[in-house]
Structure 1
C-alpha cells in the first residue's frame, strides 16, 4: 500500500490539533517550517514532522514559552532532549498534584454539604467517626480577635505549603472545654490530609448542627455538654467546629451552617 509522504497545512492541522493560524505563525518564526514547497507554491509538511508538532503542542499546553521551544528546536541533541523532558516531567507531576488536591477539596466540600442537607436545625446526635488527618495551626493568643487569628492561621498554613482551599475548622482542647471559663482556647485547622501534622481521632462524637458563628459557640458547646451528661457520657477528647455550608454555597454569612462536636465516651 502506498504511503502518503506529504501533508497539506489543513491535513497537518487536523492530525496535530494545531490551528492553521498557529502553523503559519510557527512557520514565520522558524519554529516549524513546512519541508516541501510544491510546484503550485503551496507548502507541505512531512510525516516525520508530526513528532515535532506534537512536542510543540504538548510544551505549549504546559506553558513553555515559544522562545524556549525555538531555542531547543534549533539546537536539539539527545542530551538536551533528556534535560528538557526531565524538567517537563517535574512540571507535569506538579500539575497532577494540583489537580488531585483540587479534586480532593471539591469532594470534601460536597460531602460536607450533603451532611448539612441531611441534618435539622439544632439537631444533636451521637455519631461514630473515623480518624481524620488534619493540618493543625498553633494558637495565636496575641491576636486581637477571631478574624485576625484566622488570617494568621491561613498565613501559617500557607507558609507550610498547605493549599488554602481546604475547608477550615476550629479545635478546642479538652482542658479548655472543661475549664468553665468565659472563653475557650482554640486552634484553627485545615482538613488537608496531604499536609497533615495531627489527627482528629476516631471515636464517638456528640454533634450539634445548625446556623451559628464560631465566635458564638460557647453557649452551644455548653448545651452540648449538658446533653452529654444527660446521656450518661463524659468528654473524652477535644471539641471541633466546622462550617458544612459556607460562602461556597451560601450567600449570607448569617445562614452559614455548621457542626460542633465533642469526642465522648460512656461512663
Structure 2
C-alpha cells in the first residue's frame, strides 16, 4: 500500500513527504505554527496527509519573505483579504531587496573599475582631459576652514543620512568638492562632501559638474598629503599658461578597504581649467 494512502504519518515520514527535516517540524510544533494531528501512546507525533497543504502554505509564505510570526498570525485568522495584504507586503519587501542587490552589483562593478583604473594609471602625472557633465548629491559644509574631527563626523553623517532617506544608494566612493575661491587662496579644505550619481535625480542637493576641460591627476598618499598633489597641478598650470575656472573634484579610487597602509590610498583630483 502506498504511503500516501496512510491515514497518519510519523514525523519522519511527514518530513520526507514535505521534503523538510524532522527538526523543522519539531520547531513548528514548539511555536504553534504547525502542530501534529495527535501524539500517540508511544509519544510519537502523527500528522494527517491534509496537513501537507498547511506545510506547503507556510513554506510558500516563508519563501516569499514572511516571518514565522507573520505566518502564524495569518493562519490564526485565515482569509482572502489578509492573504492579499500579506502578499503585497512581501512584494514590497522583495522589491526593496532587489534594489539593494542591484545597488550592491553596481557598487562592486564600480569598485572594480576604479581600482583597475588606479592600478593602470601613473601617479602624480598631470593630464588634460575633456569631461562630460556629471551629477552628484552634494552636502554643503558651510565652513571657511578645515573641519574639526567632530564637525567632520557630523557632516558625513548628515550626508549619508540624506542619501539613505532619499533612497540614493552610494554606488561610488565618497568624494569631495573644493571651491575655486578656496583653491585660489592656496587652501584645500572641502566645500562639499559628494556622492556621484549615474543620472540626475530631483533633489535640492543635486550638484552638476560642468562639461569642460579638466586637469586631472592620481595622487597616492594619505589625505594630509594633498597639498603636495595640488602643488604639482599648480606648477603644471603655470608652465602651460593654464588658469583655474572652476572647482576641484576629488574621488577615492583605492580606499582603506583595499590597502593596509594609509600611504597606499589613491584618489583622483580634477580641476576645471581654461
Q: Same fold (TM over 0.5)?
A: yes
TM-aligned CA distance change 1:201 to 1:228, over 3 Å: same
Deviation at residue 175 of structure 1 after TM alignment: 2.7
Q: Tell me, yes or no, if the aligned pair for 2:145 and 2:189 is still in contact at 8 Å.
A: no
Deviations 1:87-140 (A, max 9, x none): 222222222222222222222222210110011231222233333322111114
Aligned-partner Cα distance in 1 for 2:23–2:123: 59
1:248–1:214 CA distance, 2 compared to 1 (3 A): same
Judge which range, 248-257 or 120-129, deviates more. Answer: 120-129
Query: Where do 5+ consecutive residues of structure 1 fail to align?
Result: none
How much has 1:84 moved relative to structure 2? 1.3
Look up the match of 2:266. 257
TM-score by length of 2: 0.77
Correspondent of 1:104 among 103, 106, 115: 106
Q: Deviations over 1:141-189 (max 9, x none)?
A: 2877464443222211133143568511111112322x33455553221
Distance 1:236 1:5, change over 3 A: farther
**Paired residue secondary structure (1:120):** coil
1:121·1:210 contact (CA, 8 Å) conserved in 2? Answer: yes
Contact in 1 for aligned 2:179/2:248 (Cα 8 Å):
yes
Which among 26, 30, 33 is matched to residue 31 of structure 1? Answer: 33
Q: Choose from 29, 32, 43 the match for 2:47.
A: 43
1:176 aligns with 2:221: no
Equivalent position to 2:75, from 69, 73, 76: 73
Does the C-alpha gap of structure 1 residues 29 and 181 become closer, same or farther in structure 2, counting only changes over 3 Å?
Answer: closer
Classify 1:93/1:143 alpha carbon distance in 2 versus 1 (closer, same or farther; 3 Å).
farther
Aligned pairs (5 A) from 1:219-238 = 219-238=228-247
Instruction: Quickly say closer, same or farther: Cα 1:49–1:91, change in 2 above 3 A.
Output: same
Partner of 1:12: 17
- Contact 1:135–1:190 at 8 Å: present in 2 too? yes
Pick one of 62, 81, 87 that aligns with 1:57. Answer: 62
Residue 157 to residue 81, structure 1, CA distance change in 2 (3 Å)? same
TM-score scaled by length of structure 1: 0.78
Is contact 1:36–1:45 with CA below 8 Å preserved after alignment? no
Distance of 1:98 and 1:80 partners within structure 2: 27
How much does 1:262 deviate? 0.9
Higher mean alpha-carbon deviation, 189-198 vs 211-220, is at: 189-198
Q: 1:140 to 1:147 in 2, by over 3 A?
A: farther
Whether 1:214 and 2:223 are equivalent positions in the alignment is: yes
Q: Distance in 1 between matches of 2:128 and 2:148?
A: 28
Q: C-alpha separation between the residues in 2 aligned to 1:100 and 1:161?
A: 16
Counterpart Cα distance in 2 of 1:202 and 1:19: 61
The unaligned stretches of length 5 or more in structure 2 are none
1:187 matched to which residue of 2?
A: 192
Q: CA RMSD in A?
A: 3.4
Distance in 2 separating the partners of 1:33 and 1:150: 56
Task: Describe the SS at the equivalent of 1:208.
Answer: strand
Q: Does structure 2 conserve the Cα–Cα contact (< 8 Å) formed by 1:150 and 1:188?
A: no
